[in-house]
């Protein structure tokens, strides 16, 4: 059946000399894979320029329930980014977040709240010039709301530690080593009240940003078995030095 839906490009792999399999997070069907014949051919009507990390797309697809790989009739860039491709701070974060989302988003079911969060966050990043260097940290924290691992806010402002295993703020140091110290705990607790409009209020130093990101990635690895190595992490750190 021919369907129309919005999508967010996550990842692709080469299938042949000119074709690719694209993984796209769709508004109507969740994560789906699409065979795009001739995508890298000059004669193709579906150009590979649309398949860049986290590009926002309008799709026409041939969708059939239960099929692992679907066909794509047409794709258009829905909202062309005006700054992300040309700002290395933004583009490196988008590449990094695309890798995280590719590893975390597995459900082949619609999740409108999650889709709109990603879509609107990227649109905001493209238009904003405030708080750019900390966007990825904020995004990873807020994303946990939709992944079922959102931290409990209880005692967040009066606790000395955040227990990464239990996803709780605690007063006493956990008996394991997967927790944040008092300073990073305070920085983490601040993120509960930060939204798009107040992202510029996050004034992390390079070291604070790095420590907080390391702990967020550790948190993700605890709760997602397939995270593995994040290949884009070193580039992100180099750019945001």
Dump pLDDT digits (tens) for 52-110: 999 999 999 999 888 899 998 889 999 899 999 999 999 999 999 999 999 999 998 99
Q: What was the pLDDT predicted at 162? A: 97
Return the CATH number at 226.
1.20.1440.120
Identify the weakest region by mean pLDDT among 2-11, 39-48, 186-195: 39-48
Number of domains in the chain: 2
Residue 201 has pLDDT above 90, yes or no: no
Return the CATH number at 57.
2.40.50.140
Label residue 15 by pLDDT band (50, 70, 90). confident
Cα–Cα dist 92/236, whole Å: 6
Nearest alpha-carbon partner for 6 in 90, 157, 122, 150: 122
Q: 27, 53, 77: which is the final residue of a domain? A: 77
Question: Reduced to 3 states, what is the DSSP secondary structure of residue 87?
Answer: coil
Q: What was the pLDDT predicted at 41? A: 60
> Are residues 200 and 157 part of one domain?
yes
Cα–Cα dist 8/51, whole Å: 9
Identify the weakest region by mean pLDDT among 148-152, 161-165, 169-173, 226-230: 226-230
pTM (whole model) above 0.75? yes
Q: What was the pLDDT predicted at 196? A: 84
Cα–Cα dist 205/186, whole Å: 14
Q: What was the pLDDT predicted at 123? A: 95
Nearest alpha-carbon partner for 188 in 213, 170, 224: 213
Q: 28, 46, 77: which is the final residue of a domain? A: 77
């Amino acid at each position: 059946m021919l369907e129309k839906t919005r999508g967010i490009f996550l990842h692709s792999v080469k299938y042949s000399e000119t074709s690719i399999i694209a993984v796209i997070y769709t508004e109507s069907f969740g994560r789906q894979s699409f065979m795009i014949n001739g995508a890298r051919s000059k004669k193709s009507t579906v150009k590979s320029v649309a398949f860049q990390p986290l590009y926002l797309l309008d799709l026409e697809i041939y969708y059939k329930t239960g099929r692992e790989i679907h066909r794509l009739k047409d794709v258009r860039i829905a909202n062309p980014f005006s700054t992300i491709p040309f700002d290395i701070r933004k583009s490196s974060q988008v590449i990094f977040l695309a890798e995280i989302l590719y590893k975390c988003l597995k459900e082949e079911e619609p999740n409108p709240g999650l889709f709109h969060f990603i879509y609107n966050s990227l649109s905001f990043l493209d238009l904003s010039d405030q708080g750019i260097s900390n966007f990825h940290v904020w995004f990873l924290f807020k994303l946990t709301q939709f992944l079922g691992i959102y931290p409990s806010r209880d005692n967040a402002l009066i606790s000395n530690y955040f227990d990464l295993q239990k996803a709780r703020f605690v007063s006493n140091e956990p008996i394991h080593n997967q927790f944040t110290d008092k300073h990073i705990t305070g920085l983490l607790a601040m993120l509960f009240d930060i939204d798009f409009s107040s992202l510029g209020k996050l004034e992390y130093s390079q070291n604070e940003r790095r420590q907080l990101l390391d702990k967020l990635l550790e948190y993700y690895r605890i709760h997602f078995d397939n995270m593995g190595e994040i290949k884009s992490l070193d580039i992100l750190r180099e750019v945001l030095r």
